[in-house]
Amino acid sequence: MSTIKKLAGQTAIYGLSSIVGRFLNYLLVPLHTLQFSTNQYGIITEMYAYVAFLVVLLTYGMETTFFRFTSKTDHKLETVYKTILTSLLSTTALFIVWATIFSQGIADWLHYPNNQEFVVWFAVIVGLDAVSSIPLAKLRHQNKALKFAGVNLLNVAINIGLNLFFLGYCMPHFQAGDTNIIIDTLYTPEIGVGYVFISNLIASIVKFLVLTPMMKFWGSPLSKRLLKEMLWFGVPLLIAGLAGITNETIDRIMLKTMLFDTLGEKDTMSQLGIYGANYKISIIITLFIQAFRYAAEPFFFSQEKNKNAKETYAKVMNYFVAVVAIIFLGVMYYLELIKYFIPNSEFWGGLAIVPILLFANIFLGIYYNQSIWYKLTNKTKYGAYIAIIGALITVVANYILIPKYGYVGSAWATLVCYFIMVFISYLWGNKYYPVKYNLIRIFGYLTLAVVLWQLALILGLQNDVTGYLVKTVLLLCFAGTIIKIENPFKNGKQAIN
């Protein structure tokens, strides 16, 4: 039980930079949706969809590879670190140069012919973030969670601060005709949504500079034998990562591609903006999943040789599902309040997709828990297979559903994809690394959350003081029931069984 408590503690600390950090970035949604129209916000949604692909491509599985190879006794930490870091620095530099040379062509392809600077900015952003991921991984490996949190929170603070300066201070004052020397010098209204990207760029540069002292091996010769071994391990993870990010973001790209000719640029970008803004609400669960993953991946590897490792993994799954089930019910009970994070009512038409996307992200989190089986058995190719299957399902489902249902079809496609990935992973995991997950509890918690949500609707509970009071009582009873069943505060071996 002490190992699970350690995981909980690490998750809490990493949550300072991931949950809290991303939540603070999430608070930019009201600012962005207030200052920009639905079609302008669609630009932000689309560009960050491409960023997600590029970050996975430029890290090519090396973050997980770092943890795998540092857990082996026949490899020194510094040798592994030097080899990975030098490799990433080389490939990132080539990418930035290539993107800069062909920036106009790429901008034309994206239908932003007058904004080739977007391409250059994002090339630098994703390049620096890719390289920075390895020093951050080293901090995680060394259990320096506080330093890890500090670096990421600095990045978040700079990004938020600049967004508030450009969009919360300069823009409204300029529009009101109330300018001064600071606004006249630093603000250009024609840049528009570009200030969101500029803020991110500066924050990424600062984060990279802060981590530079940890990059003392850059320029050192590679261990070619070790790099080859790492690539054999990491390439399947790259394929899985690209397929996985396809599952997460291809819907934004397909929405624009498939609706552009029929709806026109403005309406298409509005659909994309509405979808992207409401997707942010479902990210409430994703925030927890991210913090959990930061702590869980090194934790799972460290437990590999313990005789009770599989029992620990099963127990962690119970706790994980319990937490996300509570989050789901809380979001749905208070959705009419949460929606005001998007102050522009033009975006509220997309609230219907929130429960669909919440459940989709729950299954994604379950899959992340399961995925340890192919990492521990060095069968990473199966992770690639599962992700590729998921990507194919995502593409086909979006292709079928988008023309008829628009972004609602994309939401359903996401849910179907992640559910099937969980099912396939469970079957293959039972064959190669069987973990006795408590399926009754897992699906019981999720089913009960849905039943309680629907019960509130059947009872016709209004969004007033009385209605919220009843829903709060139901939510507390649900959480209390789970705590009693799991008994996470119980010490000793019995807590694992």
Q: What is d(CA 259, CA 250) in angstroms, rounded to the nearest whole number?
A: 14
Burial 457-475 (b: 16+ CB within 10 A, else e): eeeebeeeeebbeebeebb
Q: What is d(CA 86, CA 89) in angstroms, rounded to the nearest whole number?
A: 5
Residue-wise pLDDT tens digits, 309-329: 788 888 889 889 999 999 999
**Tokens in use for 201?**
């760029």
**Tokens in use for 374?**
């192919």
pTM of the model: 0.75
**Confidence class of residue 11 from pLDDT cuts 50, 70 and 90?**
low
**Tokens in use for 31?**
């600012």
The reported pLDDT for the residue numbered 493 is 43
Task: Calculate mean pLDDT across residues 477-485.
Answer: 90
The reported pLDDT for the residue numbered 86 is 84
**44-53, 80-89, 205-214: which is most confident:** 205-214
The reported pLDDT for the residue numbered 19 is 64
**Mean pLDDT for the chain?**
84
Share of the chain above pLDDT 70, in %: 90
| Domain of 297, in residue numbers | 2-495
Is the pLDDT at 223 greater than 80? The verdict is no
Q: What is d(CA 80, CA 66) in angstroms, rounded to the nearest whole number?
A: 7
Residue-wise pLDDT tens digits, 97-123: 999 999 999 998 888 888 899 999 999
With tokens 């997460």, the residue in question is 248
Of the listed ranges 108-117, 124-133, 441-450, the least confidently predicted one is 108-117
The DSSP annotation for 313-350 comes to HHHHHHHHHHHHHHHHHHHHHTHHHHGGGS--GGGGGG
Residue-wise pLDDT tens digits, 20-38: 666 677 778 888 988 888 8
The reported pLDDT for the residue numbered 265 is 77
The reported pLDDT for the residue numbered 15 is 56
Cβ–Cβ < 8 Å for 71, 304: yes
The reported pLDDT for the residue numbered 217 is 56
Q: What is d(CA 371, CA 89) in angstroms, rounded to the nearest whole number?
A: 28
Task: Calculate mean pLDDT across residues 206-235.
Answer: 78
The reported pLDDT for the residue numbered 225 is 81
Torsion angle defined by CA atoms of residues 316, 319, 322 and 325, in that order, rounded to the nearest 10 degrees: -60
**Confidence class of residue 1 from pLDDT cuts 50, 70 and 90?**
low
Quote the number of domains for the chain: 1
Is the pLDDT at 268 greater than 80? The verdict is yes
Cβ–Cβ < 8 Å for 294, 14: yes
The DSSP annotation for 399-422 comes to HHHHHHHTHHHHHHHHHHHHHHHH
Helix 145-163 vs helix 116-141: crossing angle, to nearest 10: 160
